Amino acid sequence: MAKVFIDGEAGTTGLQIRERLAETQSVDVISIDNDQRKNADARREMMRLADLTVLCLPDDAAREAVALAGELGSDAPKIIDASTAHRTSPDWVYGFPELAPGQADEISAATRVANPGCYATGAIALIRPLIEAQIVRPSQSFTINAVSGYTGGGKSMISAYEAGTAPRFELYGLGLSHKHIPEVMKHTGLTQKPIFVPSVGAFPQGMLVCVPLQLPDLANAPSLAAVNDAFASYYNEAGTVIYHGNADDTAYKAQRLSIDPAEGSDQMEIWMFSNPEDHQAVLVARLDNLGKGAAGAAVQNLKLMLALT
């Protein structure tokens, strides 16, 4: 059995990863004693025993953990980092298997994988196919709007919502410098910084990420059919990203989309909602911020790196 150590197991993402791995018979999760979880020597020893270590830590602590693993030389485990610390590093493989053809193979062969951010997962999934199909230029100006459940906001936000002291809904990141923006730019190929407006609501899990399109403003003023075809061909294989097509042609003609089905799912669903008369569209990704946006993605990458089914 493959041995996996979750450094930061007591956090929200760590607990969710452990819960998913409990259903995987070929994985043995090894745990550090609670009173030793900040002991560098004890953590290094757990890494030595592990085939793979998942880091569920703040950025600085994740960097320190990578340094600890580096001290082990040939005994160092493979690492998945769920923090922001290495998501734009050229020395780490980006852990989004559906990012591009061959990405899953790169993850399988990697020893260092950066798990994507939740918002970034949705935004990249909506923008990258447009750039690859040359429907938009890398210099295109984008606006990204998103709402997430409060479990993505860390312990203080979770405590406030569960205590009933948090607002029912709020925008944040209004300094327009959210930590996911560099990640989105690097892994889409954008050269123009997008405007990203995240928000959080009084529900624990789930996320909607929206990218509006004014088709006449895009390269070659593409048709709705061209945009639809770009997504249909990009996500045409069975996997954790599902493209449902132009919502005008589906059961979603009611012009509504609930966040609820995302909770507990390790998949991401994508739609295009459109107004043909005005040549406008809105691309929407629905995912669980703790599923495909965090723990589900980590387990998907772990299975690739350990060659597990």
Measured distance CA(233)–CA(26) in Å, rounded: 34
Q: Do the bridges between strand 268-275 and strand 241-246 make them parallel or antiparallel, or are there none, so unpaired?
A: parallel
In 3D space, the residue among 307, 227, 297 whose CA is nearest the CA of residue 265 turns out to be 297
In 3D space, the residue among 180, 236, 186 whose CA is nearest the CA of residue 207 turns out to be 180
Measured distance CA(290)–CA(115) in Å, rounded: 12
Measured distance CA(155)–CA(11) in Å, rounded: 8
**Which two three-digit tokens encode residue 190?**
């954008």
List 27, 82, 107, 118, catalytic entry: 118
**Which two three-digit tokens encode residue 156?**
């203080």
Q: Taking the CB of residue 156, how many other CB atoms lie within 10 A of it?
A: 9
Measured distance CA(22)–CA(1) in Å, rounded: 13
Measured distance CA(10)–CA(2) in Å, rounded: 21
**Which two three-digit tokens encode residue 159?**
């405590």
Residues 6+ apart with CB under 8 A from 70: 76
Q: Mark whether 56 is an active-site residue.
A: no
Residue numbers annotated as active site: 118
